[in-house]
C-alpha cells in the first residue's frame, strides 16, 4: 500500500475515495458557472446567451452543465439530437432548447411533445412538422428556427430559398418562426474574410424577410470563436459551445477568467522495473534504453484516451511528467516514472489537468494529435465516472448506472 500522500493539490481528497472506477473525469461546476457568467457579461444586456450542451455537454454531463449555465446567465440551451433534448426535459429542465441539426420525420412527434425547438431548412420538413403538430395536443405552436447555409455547406436553406421557406412556416397552422440562424465556418481564423461574407449574406436574407413582412424572431450566428472575436456578430443571441467548457475555439486561446472545467484522473495500478531492452505493450513499440521504472494506469482508448497518443503524450505523477511508454491499449496504458521520485500503487495520476500537475491540458493533448480539444472531451466514454465539484467539494458522481452518489447539484 502506498505511503505517499494520495491527494492532488487542485482536487479534494474525496475525488479518489468515492464510488466507481478509479479512472474518472472530474468536472468543476464552478468553472462552468464562472465561464457562463463571463460570457453573460461579455455580450451585454441586449443579447441572450445559449449554452450548447450537445454530445453530453461535450463529455462533461449535459444536465449538470445546463443547470450551472442557466443559473449563471444562459437563457437558452442547444443540443444536436432530439434524444439529447428529451434527456434535459426528463431531468426537469424547462428552458428553451433548440435542436441544431437535421432530424428524421419519425422523431418529430417526440420533439414536439418535449417542447423542443427545431431547425428547419426546407419546406417539406416544415410541412411534416405542421402535420404532426396538428395531430398532437400541444399547448403552443411548434417552434422552428430557420437554418441558413451562408457558406458552411452543411445543413441549411439557401439564401434564394429562405423567404419561401419562411412564408411556408408562418402560413402553416401550428407553427411559429422563432428564429433565423446560420453557422460560421471560419470564425477561428482572423485572417479569413469568410465570416464577414457569411454575416453579410445573413443580413441580406434578413432584409428580404423584412421586405416580405416576416418577423425573423431571434437571430443568431456567433459561435464561441465569433463571441471571442468581435461584438458585431452577437445579434439577438450567441451560441457558446467549447468556450463554455474553458477550451479554446481558436489559436488565441480563451480570455482570462475562463478556465477548463474537466480534468481526467486515475491511480497507479502497478509499478514495474524495466531492464535495458525490455519492450512495453503491443508490438513492443517502446524498448527501454536503460533500467527504468514504469507504472500501469487503468485507462485506454475505450475510455477515450486515444491510441494516437502512444509514445507521444505524458501524464502527471507527483507533479512531474510521466511519458507514455508503448501503445495505448483498450483499457490500460504504461507510463515511465520520473527518476528519483518514489511512486507506489494507489498514487494519483493526472491524465489531463493543470500544468502544475505535470499533465497536459486538453488543448495541449489535442495539439499532440493534430486535432482539437472538442474531439477529446466529447470522446470520453460513458464508462468513465463523472465526479462533480462545487465549491471545492464532491457533490455528485455519475456512472454507467446513473447517479452513484449525490449531495444535490
Q: How far is CA 392 from CA 14, 90, 262, 389, 397, in A?
A: 10, 28, 13, 6, 14
The pLDDT score that the predictor gives to residue 5 is: 47
- 68's grid cell: 450551472
> What gap in Å lies between CA 337 and CA 342, rounded to an integer?
9
**161 backbone φψ class: left, alpha, beta (φ>0; ψ -120 to 50):** alpha
> What gap in Å lies between CA 125 and CA 165, rounded to an integer?
10
Alpha helices in 223-275 (DSSP H): 224-229
Supply the pTM of this predicted model: 0.94
The pLDDT score that the predictor gives to residue 354 is: 95
Angle at CA 84, nearest 5°, toward 80 and 86? Answer: 130
Q: Which domains does the chain have, with CATH numbers?
A: 13-20+261-406 (2.40.37.10), 30-244 (3.20.20.10)
Q: Comparing C-alpha atoms, which of 182, 180, 189 is closest to residue 228?
A: 189
Helices 62-71, 82-90: inter-axial angle, 10-degree rounding: 70
Q: Comparing C-alpha atoms, which of 300, 302, 292 is closest to residue 269?
A: 300
The pLDDT score that the predictor gives to residue 28 is: 97
Collect all residues with Cβ–Cβ distance below 8 Å to 92 and sequence separation of at least 6: none
Alpha helices in 299-372 (DSSP H): 362-369
Q: Which of 54, 147, 305, 388 is catalytic?
A: 54
Q: How far is CA 334 from CA 37, 264, 265, in A?
A: 40, 16, 15
Give the residue carrying C-alpha cell 431571434: 218
Angle at CA 354, nearest 5°, toward 289 and 315? Answer: 25
Backbone angles phi, psi at 227, to 5 degrees: -65, -40
Q: Are 362 and 352 in contact (CB under 8 A)?
A: yes
The pLDDT score that the predictor gives to residue 37 is: 97
The number of residues in the chain equals 409
Q: Are 276 and 288 in contact (CB under 8 A)?
A: yes
Q: Which of 147, 282, 301, 374 is catalytic?
A: 282
Q: Are 252 and 224 in contact (CB under 8 A)?
A: no
pLDDT tens for each residue of the chain, 409 residues long: 333 445 577 888 889 887 778 999 999 999 999 999 999 999 989 999 999 999 999 999 999 999 999 999 999 999 999 999 999 999 999 999 999 999 999 999 999 999 999 999 999 999 999 999 999 999 999 999 999 999 999 999 999 999 999 999 999 999 999 999 999 999 999 889 999 999 999 999 999 999 999 999 999 999 999 999 989 999 999 999 999 999 999 888 899 999 999 999 999 999 999 999 999 999 999 999 999 999 999 999 999 999 999 999 999 999 999 999 999 999 999 999 988 889 999 999 999 999 999 999 999 999 999 999 999 999 999 999 999 999 999 999 998 777 766 666 6
Q: Which helix (H) or strand (E) holds 83?
A: helix 82-90
Q: E-strand spans in 80-153?
A: 97-99, 117-120, 142-147
Backbone angles phi, psi at 269, to 5 degrees: -100, -20
> What gap in Å lies between CA 237 and CA 220, rounded to an integer?
5
The pLDDT score that the predictor gives to residue 7 is: 58
Q: Is 282 considered catalytic here? A: yes
- 377's grid cell: 472531451
Q: Are 50 and 36 in contact (CB under 8 A)?
A: no
- 80's grid cell: 444536436
- Per residue, what are the HEC states of 359-384? CCCHHHHHHHHCCCHHHHHHCCCCCC
What 3-state DSSP class applies to 107? Answer: helix
Q: Is 54 considered catalytic here? A: yes
Amino acid at each position: 500500500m502506498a505511503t505517499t500522500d494520495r491527494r492532488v493539490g487542485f482536487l479534494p481528497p474525496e475525488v479518489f475515495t468515492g464510488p466507481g472506477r478509479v479512472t474518472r473525469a472530474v468536472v468543476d461546476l464552478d468553472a462552468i458557472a464562472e465561464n457562463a457568467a463571463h460570457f453573460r457579461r461579455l455580450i451585454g444586456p441586449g443579447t441572450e446567451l445559449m449554452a450548447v450542451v450537445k454530445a453530453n455537454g461535450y463529455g462533461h454531463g449535459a444536465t449538470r452543465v445546463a443547470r450551472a449555465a442557466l443559473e449563471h446567465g444562459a437563457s437558452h440551451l442547444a443540443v444536436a439530437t432530439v434524444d439529447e433534448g428529451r434527456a434535459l426535459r426528463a431531468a426537469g429542465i424547462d428552458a428553451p432548447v433548440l435542436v441544431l441539426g437535421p432530424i428524421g420525420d419519425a422523431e418529430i412527434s417526440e420533439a414536439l411533445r418535449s417542447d423542443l425547438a427545431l431547425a428547419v431548412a426546407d419546406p417539406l420538413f416544415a410541412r411534416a412538422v405542421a402535420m404532426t403538430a396538428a395531430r398532437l395536443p400541444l399547448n403552443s405552436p411548434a417552434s422552428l428556427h430557420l437554418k441558413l447555409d451562408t457558406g458552411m455547406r452543411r445543413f441549411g436553406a439557401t439564401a434564394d430559398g429562405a423567404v419561401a421557406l419562411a412564408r411556408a412556416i408562418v402560413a402553416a397552422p401550428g407553427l411559429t418562426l422563432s428564429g433565423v440562424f446560420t453557422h460560421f465556418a471560419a470564425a477561428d481564423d482572423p485572417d479569413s474574410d469568410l465570416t464577414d461574407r457569411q454575416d453579410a449574406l445573413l443580413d441580406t436574407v434578413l432584409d428580404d424577410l423584412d421586405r416580405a413582412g416576416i418577423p425573423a424572431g431571434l437571430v443568431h450566428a456567433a459561435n464561441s470563436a465569433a463571441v471571442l472575436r468581435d461584438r458585431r456578430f452577437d445579434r439577438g443571441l450567441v451560441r457558446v459551445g467549447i468556450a463554455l467548457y474553458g477550451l479554446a475555439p481558436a489559436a488565441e486561446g480563451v480570455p482570462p477568467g475562463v478556465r477548463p472545467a474537466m480534468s481526467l484522473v486515475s491511480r497507479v495500478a502497478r509499478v514495474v522495473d524495466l531492464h535495458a531492452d525490455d519492450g512495453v505493450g503491443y508490438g513492443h513499440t517502446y524498448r527501454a534504453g536503460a533500467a527504468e521504472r514504469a507504472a500501469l494506469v487503468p485507462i485506454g482508448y475505450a475510455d477515450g484516451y486515444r491510441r494516437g497518443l502512444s509514445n507521444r503524450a505524458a501524464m502527471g505523477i507527483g507533479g512531474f511528467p510521466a511519458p507514455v511508454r508503448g501503445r495505448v491499449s483498450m483499457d490500460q496504458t504504461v507510463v515511465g516514472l520520473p527518476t528519483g521520485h518514489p511512486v507506489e500503487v494507489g498514487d494519483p495520476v493526472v491524465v489531463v489537468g493543470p500544468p502544475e500537475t505535470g499533465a497536459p491540458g486538453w488543448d495541449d493533448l489535442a495539439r499532440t494529435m493534430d486535432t482539437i480539444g472538442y474531439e477529446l472531451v466529447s470522446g470520453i466514454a460513458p464508462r468513465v465516472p463523472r465526479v462533480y465539484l462545487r465549491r471545492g467539494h464532491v457533490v455528485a458522481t455519475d456512472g454507467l448506472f446513473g447517479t452513484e452518489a449525490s449531495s444535490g447539484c
